[in-house]
Amino acid sequence: MPSKAEWTWLVFMAGDNNLEGAGADDLQEMQQVGSSERLNILVQFDTENGGTTRYRVEHQGLTAIQHMPGVDCGDPAVLEEFLTWGMQRYPAARYLVDVWNHGGGWENLPPDFDYDSLRSPKPAVANKLKRLQRALFRTTIKKVYSLSTERRSASKRAIAIDTGSHDYLDNQELHSAVADALPAGEKIAILGCDACLMNMIEICYQMRDTADFMVGSEETEPGAGWPYAKILSSLVREPGLNGRSLASTIVKAYGTWYNENGDEVHDRSATQSALDLGHLANVVDALNELAKSLQTQMRTMKGPIALAKTAAQKFYYPEYVDLGDFATQLSRHLPSRSKAKRAAEDLKRRLSARTNSSFVIANATWGNGVRRASGVSIYFPEQTGYSPDYDDLDMSKEGSWAAMLKTFYAALL
């Protein structure tokens, strides 16, 4: 068994879908750097036809540690077992869990979801779509939005989609898998989501007791995903980086890579942010205070809320609204001495990446379409699109945002 390293980086690569080629590309990037005595890079790569293999990534090579029949990446027990195996076999002072796949924010998939729509295309087609592969999940939401209003209200999304098993991880399952893999009371240093649309306040709240930091994107990710060679090179040079520093390094490397290499025609835009879950409670407290102040004066507040929602930065799913920009827009429309205005400005301060106690510790954007992204989004659908599953999330049960949304919708009738 190897001696204890500084970091073990665990990549749960759910490639049984049309991202398998992108997964192979990312493995190549990782091999440009490879593991060291102080860094273990471990990948569980599930593929459509080649089964599942666990690798230790080496410099210019892969060590295949275990080969298995294809696994169900949508089964939380599969993720839990991989994490437990990796942490026990390759112990480290700190762990980064990298959930690699399509992503879609807090929501789940509908019962009648067409998993075959996410299968790999023929090789000739796949080559033409290489830059778009990670963003192909966008075609799914186009189909969802073409459905009737009744069916759309039940439409859902997820992460770690497995076309072979017709399964996925919802956020509650993601939480249980990570939490159950950890000794009681312990956390991983970083939860990374190399996937689309995952940096939402609701997901942060769901995962709050499992990780110190979270790194991911508010927007859909371009096909290239994370620039692994650039990120891992920094970690090899400084393996003693703490969680905060590595989380910020990932965001900086991501932003630099897309500003230098982003394809304006195909990629269009990119976001990445690092969030300090240790300061999440402060943000949620401010959000709850804002929601309550809006709710208690809804007759006069519904107009400013509607204006702010319309003006705020949105992402590929328009019900995902940037939280910081929504607070900014809201404060512009609220009466100057109102309690709600003070609450909106307080929320902005607690989110800001400019203070030592901020929730957003690093934020990178590329492309004019996301220039007002502040690092974390929130669910704010139209009334007809509100998903009843939202009520099952921890933040909805324990906070005030969901109740404010329902009061707002009622006031519009």
Of 59, 61, 1, the residue nearest 236 (C-alpha): 59
CA distances from 2 to 44, 60, 82, 128, 235 (A): 19, 20, 17, 42, 19
Give the position of tokens 């203070």: 355
Instruction: Specify the 3-state DSSP secondary structure of 258.
Output: helix
Distance CA 14, CA 99 (A): 8
Q: Would you tell me how many other CB atoms lie within 10 Å of the CB of residue 29? A: 18
pLDDT in tens, the chain (413 residues): 457 899 999 999 887 777 788 889 999 999 999 999 999 999 999 888 889 999 999 999 999 999 999 888 888 899 999 999 999 999 999 999 999 886 778 765 444 444 344 444 433 333 333 333 333 233 333 333 333 333 333 334 455 444 444 455 778 889 999 999 998 889 999 999 998 889 999 999 999 999 999 999 999 988 889 999 999 999 999 999 999 999 999 999 999 999 999 988 878 899 999 999 999 999 999 999 999 999 999 999 999 999 999 999 999 889 999 999 999 999 999 988 899 999 999 999 999 866 677 899 999 999 999 999 999 999 999 999 999 989 999 999 999 999 999 999 999 98
Q: Would you tell me how many other CB atoms lie within 10 Å of the CB of residue 122? A: 7
Count helices and strands (H / E) in the chain. Answer: 15, 13
* 333-343 burial code (b ≥16 CB/10 A, e <16): bbeeebbbbbb
Instruction: Please report the domains of the chain, with CATH numbers, ordered by start residue.
Output: 5-279 (3.40.50.11970), 281-358+377-412 (no CATH)
First to last CA, the chain: 64
Q: % helix / strand / coil in the chain, to the nearest 5?
A: 45, 20, 35
Give the global pTM.
Answer: 0.87
* Bridge partners for 211 per DSSP: 188
Of 155, 65, 161, the residue nearest 388 (C-alpha): 155
Strand 39-46 relative to strand 52-58, pairing:
antiparallel
